[in-house]
Structure 1
Amino acid sequence: MRINWHEYFMAQAMLLSLRSTCERLSVGATIVKDNRIIAGGYNGSVSGEVHCIDEGCYVEDGHCIRTIHAEINGLLQCSKFGVSTEGASVYVTHFPCINCTKSLIQAGIKNIYYRADYKNHPYAIELLDKNNVHYELIELDSGTINSYFESVQ
C-alpha cells in the first residue's frame, strides 16, 4: 500500500496540527513546491510568549489575538529562510480564513488543499477565483492514515 502525494502532504499538515497550542482549534499547514516540503506551520503563540494551553485564549471580537495561524507561520518560515513560495501549494487542515487567504495569494501560492471546511468566507472564495488559485477539499480521515501506519512493519 503506497500513500499518494495528497494523502502524504495532508498527513503532514495533520501531524503539524498536533503541535498547536490553541485550545479552540488545532490547525496545521504544509507548504510544498515540486513535491517537496519547503515549510510547515501550526497555530500558536509568538515564540517565547505564553501559550493558550497554559494561560487560556486571549479573545477579542471572537478571535484569539495571541495566536499566529498555521498558514502564516509556514509563510514566515519561508520568508525567514529565503525560500520562494511562488507557484507553491499549501496543504492545510482547515479552509483558510480571509486574512490567511489574502496572504497566501500575495505569497504566490497557486494551490490550496484543505481537509475540512471552516467558516469558508465568500470573499476568500471570490479572491481565490479571481486570482486563479486552485482550492480543493481533500477528504482524508484519520482511519485512512492509521491504516497506513498499521501497514508499516
Structure 2
Amino acid sequence: MFRAAAWGRFLVRTSWDPSSVAHPDRQSWDEYFLDLARAASTRATCVRRKHGAVIVRSRRIVATGYNGAPSGYPHCADGACPRARSDAPQGHDYESCTAIHAEANALLFSSPEERDGATLYCTGAPCFGCAKLIANSGIAEVVASGGRYDGWEHVRDFLRACGVRIRLLDGFEGSPALDLASATG
C-alpha cells in the first residue's frame, strides 16, 4: 500500500503498512532514518553530489557519514577535486575523485561489532566501490531513497550475491516536515 502526502509544495510517496504503525501520521523507521541520512548529506562538500548515510542497528544510530574530502585535505567545494574540474561524466573517473563517499565514511566511523547485522540507510543507491566495502563490513541490509543510475543493477546483484539485502524506496524524497533545501551549514 502506498501513501501520498502533500505538504506545501512537496508530494511524498512512500511505502506504508498501516498495521505496522500505531500512529498513521508518524514516520516509519525507514522514513526516519532516511531523513537522518538526508540531514547528514547537508554536510557534504562534494560539488557534484550531496550524499549522506546512517548505519543503524536495533533502531539505534551507530554512525553517520557524508561525502567529502579526507580530514585535513582541502574540500572539493574549495576547488581541490581534480574530478570536479574535469569533464568526467557522472559515475566515471572515480580514481581522480578526492572525496570519500558517505557510505565509506559511515563504515570508517563504526566498529565491526557495531556493523554486524546492521542496516545502512543512504540517500542514493551505492556505487560499486562502496558496495564492495558494504559486502565485507557485516552490514545486512542497505535501504536507499532511490537514486538509481546507469548500471546500478550490477551493484544490486553484487550485494544480493554477497548476502546483503538492498531496498530502493522510489519516490521517497524526505519528510516534508524536514525541508533541507533551506538548510545552511
TM-score, normalising length: structure 1: 0.85
Match of 2:102 in 1: 70
Alpha-carbon distance between aligned partners in 1 of 2:152 and 2:172, rounded to the nearest angstrom: 22
Map 1:9-28 onto structure 2 (within 5 A).
9-28=33-52
Work out which of the two has the higher radius of gyration on C-alpha atoms and give 1 or 2: 2
Identity in percent: 34
The one-letter amino acid of 2:101's match is H
Compared with structure 1, are the counterparts of its residues 126 and 148 closer, same or farther at alpha carbon in structure 2 (3 Å cutoff)?
A: closer
Match of 1:50 among 67, 70, 74: 74
Q: Which moved more, 1:114-123 or 1:15-24?
A: 114-123
Match of 2:10 in 1: none
Map 1:76-91 onto structure 2 (within 5 A).
76-79=108-111, 83-91=113-121
CA offsets, 1:89-131, max 9 Å, x none? 0000010011100100100111101112134434322221212
Contact 2:62 2:110 in 1 (8 A): yes
5+ residue gaps, structure 1, are none
Q: Is 1:133 matched with 2:164?
A: yes
**What RMSD in Å do the two structures reach over aligned CA positions?**
2.0
Contact 1:97 1:119 in 2 (8 A): no
Q: Is 1:112 matched with 2:136?
A: no
- Count of residues in Structure 1 that have an aligned counterpart in Structure 2: 145
Task: Name the structure where helix makes up a greater proportion of residues.
Answer: 1
The one-letter amino acid of 1:137's match is L
Task: Name the structure where strand makes up a greater proportion of residues.
Answer: 1
Secondary structure at 1:101 match in 2: helix
TM-score, normalising length: structure 2: 0.72
